[in-house]
Structure 1
Amino acid sequence: MKHEIHCKWLDTVAFQAEDDSGHKIIIEAGRKFGGKNRGFLPKPLLLVSLAGCMGIDVICLLDKMEITLTDFNIRAIGEMNDAQPRYYHKIHLVYEFEGEELPIDQVEKAVYLSKEKYCNVSALLSKGADITHEIKIMESKSSTE
Structure 2
Amino acid sequence: MEINLTRIDQDFHFEAKGAAGVAVNIDGASEIGGHNAGARPMELLLMGLGGCSAIDIILILKKQRQPLERFDIKVSAERQKVEEFNLFSNIHIHFILGGQLDEEKVSKAIALSLEKYCSVAAILYKTATITHSFELV
TM-score interval, normalised by the smaller of the two chains: over 0.9
* Gaps in structure 1 of 5+ consecutive residues: 139-145
Match of 1:141 in 2: none
C-alpha displacement of 1:58 = 0.2
In the alignment, residue 67 of structure 1 is paired with which amino acid?
Answer: Q
CA RMSD, Structure 1 to Structure 2 (Å):
1.0
In the alignment, residue 132 of structure 2 is paired with which amino acid?
Answer: H
> Hey, what's the Cα distance between the residues in 2 that align with 1:137 and 1:60?
18
Does the alignment pair 1:110 with 2:109?
yes
In 2, are the aligned partners of 1:76 and 1:94 still within 8 Å (CA)?
Answer: yes
> What is the DSSP-based 3-state SS (H/G/I as helix, E as strand, rest coil) of the residue aligned with 1:70?
strand
> Hey, what's the Cα distance between the residues in 1 that align with 2:129 and 2:59?
25
Match of 1:41 in 2: 40
> Hey, what's the Cα distance between the residues in 2 that align with 1:17 and 1:98?
33
1:82-139: CA deviation from partner (whole Å, max 9, x where unpaired): 4531011110000001113x2111100000100111111111111111000001111x
In the alignment, residue 49 of structure 2 is paired with which amino acid?
Answer: L
In the alignment, residue 44 of structure 1 is paired with which amino acid?
Answer: E
Does the alignment pair 1:87 with 2:81?
no
In the alignment, residue 73 of structure 1 is paired with which amino acid?
Answer: D
1:20-57: CA deviation from partner (whole Å, max 9, x where unpaired): 22111110110011111110011011010000000000
Match of 1:8 in 2: 6
> What is the DSSP-based 3-state SS (H/G/I as helix, E as strand, rest coil) of the residue aligned with 1:61?
helix
Higher Rg: 1
* Gaps in structure 2 of 5+ consecutive residues: none
In the alignment, residue 14 of structure 1 is paired with which amino acid?
Answer: H
TM-score, normalisation: structure 1 = 0.89
